[in-house]
Amino acid sequence: MEAQMQKQGFDVIVVGAGAAGLMAAGTAAQQGRRVLLLEKMEKSGRKVRITGKGRCNVTNARPAEEFASQVRTNAAFFAPAFAGFDNRATMRFFERRGVKLEVERGDRVFPKSGKAWDIANALLDYCVDNGVEIRYDTRVTEILTLSGRVFGVKYINKRGFERKEECPAVILATGGVSYPATGSTGDGYAFAADLGHTIEPLRPSLTPLVTSHPQARYLDRLLLRNIRATLYIDNAPVREEFGELGFSERGIEGAVALRMSRDAVDALIDGHRVKLVVDLKPALSEEVLRERIARERAELAPTEFFGELLRKLVPQPLVHPLARELDIHSKDYVSKITDAQVTRLIRTLKGLTFPITDYAPFEYAVTTAGGVRCEEVNPRTLESLKVPGLYLAGEVLDLDANTGGYNLQIAFSTGRLAGQLKKETR
């Protein structure tokens, strides 16, 4: 059987066995095509297996119109792919393959087992069950064309020998450059550029933000919940988010910071001044907060320390850094705190400001912003408008979205559409 398949050749070669590549390969094979899937790593779905801190946020269950609003770049281009295979279709796909799902806060969808491996294995099984031939430890070095059309690929096999495989269609699903240890090292961008495609500038998206705030080093592992943060560029507010904000050695992270990072990264690259202003008490106005502080002070003995008052207002790990920010010693007597100091405390609680000076590199980014220019790809087929027979799917395209399952859905939707190998003239 294998010798017969080799003799017949393949209808399509898929480059990259990530979320988009596995979906594309399985889809093409399910439709009766002979499919070869080439993966340079030793196993498939390596990035899928670690995404969502090992739990895999598969998609987001929001209604279609709300989902579209979370796609940050080229949402109109993505619309046909999403219409053909949306978030509901994704959920049905995995559930039919035996992966039970559950919807959590923010309409985020996870495997009920809490194991990202279940998603990666379901995608792999989809390919295997439909007869996809998979070759691991195989690095594609060139996409071959003849008279401007795709006719195969060159690759180096696991034994280090260069080989050539001919076929009339290639699906490029090599991912971006985030988490390069998983195999996402930007190969697809080089292939596409060599074939005449324009690559929009690459930069980390959904990545931690680095601050020069002097107290930041004391905030490691602090997680702030139910805060409101506003991103300022050149002192003008450009984005506001509500939710969780975390701190680590990588920088300021958590869902709020990650959602803002795309705007912050672009602004920093362009040389603008960026800051993040955090409202630690968004449910309270300054007046109500002043009244609460007065009540808390009244309940403390005059010889209690200022730190005790702060403990009633903020999480314990924030007490000493906040006292330093206010230039009030945490062991000053609470009875000695002046009205001016209370006013400064209120303004800081309502507007703790972090200058943003840099961003974490691709090693810590969830996804890549930039990629193959979407205007050079047919949105109804995902076939290149420059090279017939070349299809593109997933992160290699200039598509990215907010955190919350949206980016994996982009991979599934575009992989599904590319795998159908539709032909259309424009």
Assign residue 40 the CATH number of its domain. 3.50.50.60
387 contact partners, CB below 8 Å, separation of at least 6: 145, 148, 149, 150, 195, 196
Q: Strand 352-359 and strand 209-211: pairing?
A: antiparallel
* Chain Cα centroid distance, residue 213: 26
Kindly state whether residues 403 and 298 are assigned to the same domain: no
Q: Which of 264, 261, 257, 263 is nearest to 228 (CA)?
A: 257
Q: How many helices (H) and strands (E) does the chain have?
A: 14, 19
Between the alpha carbon of residue 275 and those of residues 11, 212, 366, the distances in Å are 52, 10, 21
Picking from 360, 377, 403, the residue at the C-terminal end of a domain is 360
pLDDT band at 2 (very low <50, low <70, confident <90, very high): very low
Is 341 within a domain? yes
pLDDT > 80? residue 1: no
**Boundary (domain end) residue, out of 342, 360, 378:** 360
What does the alpha-carbon distance between residue 115 and residue 311 come to, in Å, rounded to a whole number?
37
> Which helix H or strand E contains 221, and what residues bound it?
none
Please check whether residue 232 is in contact with residue 352, taking contact to mean a CB–CB distance below 8 angstroms: no
Q: How confident is the model at residue 425 (pLDDT cuts 50, 70, 90)?
A: low
List pLDDT tens digits, range 209-252.
Answer: 999 999 999 999 999 999 999 999 999 999 999 999 999 999 99
Question: How many distinct structural domains can be found in the chain?
Answer: 2
**DSSP secondary-structure letter at 147?**
T
In a domain, 426, yes or no: no
pLDDT at 179: 77
**Pairwise CA distance, residues 50 & 265, whole Å:** 24
Structural domain span for residue 233: 208-360
Per residue in 31-61, pLDDT (tens digit) is: 999 999 999 999 999 999 998 889 999 999 9
> Are 316 and 407 contained in the same domain?
no
3-state secondary structure of 325: helix
| pTM score over 0.95 | no
Under 8 Å CB-to-CB from 294, ≥6 apart: which residues?
Answer: none
Torsions phi, psi for 350 (to 5 deg): -90, -5
Q: How many CB atoms lie within 10 A of CB 221?
A: 9
- Residue the block writes with tokens 């107290």: 215
Does the residue 425 lie in any domain? no
Q: 253 forms bridges with which residues in the sheet?
A: 246
Mean pLDDT of the chain: 94
Cβ–Cβ contacts within 10 Å for residue 55, how many?
Answer: 18
Give 7's pLDDT tier (boundaries 50, 70, 90): very low
Looking at 316, 333, 360, the residue that finishes a domain is 360
User: Do 294 and 375 sit in the same domain of this protein?
Assistant: no
Describe the crossing of helices 406-419 and 19-30 by its angle, rounded to 10 degrees. Answer: 30
Q: What burial class does residue 181 get, using C-beta atoms within 10 Å of its C-beta: 0-12 exposed, 13-18 middle, 19+ buried?
A: exposed
CB 166 within 8 A of CB 151: yes
Q: Determine the Cα–Cα distance for residues 403 and 168; give it in Å rounded to an integer.
A: 36
Which residue is listed with tokens 């400001």? Answer: 353
pLDDT in tens, 383-424: 999 999 999 999 999 999 999 999 999 999 999 999 999 988
Mark whether 110 and 32 lie in a shared domain. Answer: yes
pLDDT in tens, 330-375: 999 999 999 999 999 999 999 999 999 999 999 999 899 999 999 9
231 and 106 co-located in one domain: no
Would you say residue 181 has pLDDT above 50? yes
Same domain? For 187 and 157 the reply is: yes
Q: Is the domain of 118 the same as that of 157?
A: yes
The verdict on 162 and 37 lying in the same domain is yes
Domain annotation covers residue 373: yes
Same domain, 341 and 372: no
Q: Do 168 and 258 belong together in one domain?
A: no
Cα distance between residue 298 and residue 295, in whole Å: 5
pLDDT in tens, 134-155: 999 999 999 999 999 999 999 9
Distance CA(225)–CA(283), nearest Å, equals 12
Pair (338, 407) in one structural domain: no
Q: Specify whether 182 is located in the same domain as 140.
A: yes
Contacts of 216 (CB under 8 A, 6+ apart): 247, 252, 354
**b (16+ CB within 10 A) / e for 60-92:** bbbeeeebbebbbbbeebbbbbbeebbbebbbe
> Does a structural domain hold residue 424?
no
